[in-house]
Amino acid sequence: MATGVLGSDPDLTLDVEKTLRSRRTKVGILAIGAGVLFCFGLVVGAVPLSLPAIVTGTASEFELVVFESIRAPRVILAGFVGAALGIAGAALQGLFRNPLADPGLIGVSAGAALGAISMIVLGEQLNLPEWIEPYAIPLAAITGALLVTGFLYGFASAFGHFSIVTLLLVGIAINALSTVGIGAFEYLSDDRQLRSLVFWMMGSFGRAQWTTLIPAMMVMGLSIGFLVSQARSLDLLQLGEADAEFLGVNTARLKRIVVIGTAFGVGSAVALSGIIGFVGLVVPHLVRLMIGPGHVHLLPGAAFLGAGLMIAADMVARIIIVPAEIPVSLVTSAFGAPFFLWLIARVRPV
């Protein structure tokens, strides 16, 4: 319906297209970076490995065992967890229109942690069939995350309007309640359980194994796909809920998808590696600085950067005190917490 109000200048939108092309390139660079770090992660560690030797079959049997059952699942897990947490943070920040939002904020991580911890402490008494045992903790964590988000959604929509402020406030209350539950389980647990529980709370990829990794990879992959598919709607939501609706976005459906997608991604991440702080907060912010706020590029960018940074953080955790290792969350929090303070100082009051 070109009305040709005035003459048009053909060069006018050229810059816009150039900007968008360069953003695509930057996402590509992040993907390549994640790939390079992935290869580094595979070879660096207490037992140094050589990729060419493994590919050509000249590696020793010991090296092959280390690669197949320790190194590879660990690095893959780190990559997937980083991607899932990064993209979940980006999607939640978009949903809340608040750069300080984080999967931990609305209680999803705490809910998942409570589910997993209750299984660690009470699992032995349940007499679960043997085949289900490796999946018991992940399933309990996802259930915890879903219960929290389901409750959040039900509670908030009971008031007719699913407002973002309501969601945040209820999230704070849920976090507090989960802390109570976690504390109670800590009190109930014996010394051995407590050790495992504390180590798990600090986050680590040390216990990665294929039986739990493969289903978790599928769940996290689906979560990432669902969230990426909402990129344009999340962009429009930045204009405000009413304005997004005026542009044809079904905001109720968008919120549902983001909340459920985040619950599955964060739930399975927490189940396999414990609580790893600040990745969901820091990664999206870095991608916004590097690429821009548009979700079409931000969401995949956050997945790639999250994966790369998590693999790097895990490498640091593994090699800093060889042959022992520190929990990866110590690494992410050591960098993330000061960043968080800087962010609070920088963000204009909403």
Partner 1 sequence: MSRPIGLDAEGVCFSHGAVSILNEVNGSFAPGTVTALIGPNGAGKSTLLRVLAGELKPSAGCVRMNGQSLDTLSSQELALKRSVMSQSSRIVFDFLVEEVLRMGWLGSRQGLKQGLENVIVACEIEPLLGRTFNTLSGGEQQRIQFARALLQIRSDNATHDPNYLLLDEPTSNLDVAHELAVLRLAREVISDQVGVVVVLHDLNLASRFADQLMLLKNGQVQALGAPEEVLDSELLSQVYATPLRVERHNELNRLMIYS
Compute, in degrees rounded to 10, the torsion defined by CA atoms 99, 102, 105, 110: 180
Is residue 26 a contact point for partner 1 (CB under 8 A)?
Answer: no
Is residue 5 a contact point for partner 1 (CB under 8 A)?
Answer: yes
The answer to whether the peptide bond before residue 134 is cis (omega within 30 degrees of 0) is: no
Residues shown for the chain: 350
CB of 22 to partner 1, least distance (A): 12
Give 327's contacts (C-beta < 8 A, 6+ positions apart). Answer: 199, 202, 203, 204, 274, 317
Angle 304-331-186 from CA coordinates, rounded to 5°: 110
Minimum CB distance to partner 1 smaller for 154 or for 160:
160
Give Cα 150 distance to the centre of its chain: 19
Span 174-203, contacts to partner 1 by CB under 8 A: none
What is each CA distance from 285 to 39, 60, 88, 102, 122, in whole angstroms? 25, 43, 12, 11, 39
Is residue 229 a contact point for partner 1 (CB under 8 A)?
Answer: no
User: How many residues of this chain interact with partner 1, rule: CB under 8 A?
Assistant: 36
Q: Among residues 120, 278, 104, which one has the least CA distance to residue 179?
A: 104
CB of 239 to partner 1, least distance (A): 6
Is residue 286 a contact point for partner 1 (CB under 8 A)?
Answer: no
- Among the listed residues 33, 181, 215, 293, the single contact to partner 1 using CB under 8 A: 293
Span 65-124, contacts to partner 1 by CB under 8 A: 97-99
Is residue 345 a contact point for partner 1 (CB under 8 A)?
Answer: no
Neighbour count for residue 306 (Cβ, 10 Å): 33
CB of 247 to partner 1, least distance (A): 5
CB of 19 to partner 1, least distance (A): 7
Span 236-265, contacts to partner 1 by CB under 8 A: 236, 238-240, 242-243, 245-250
Q: Which residues sit at the interface with partner 1, rule CB under 8 A? A: 1-10, 12-13, 15-16, 19, 97-99, 235-236, 238-240, 242-243, 245-250, 288, 292-294, 350
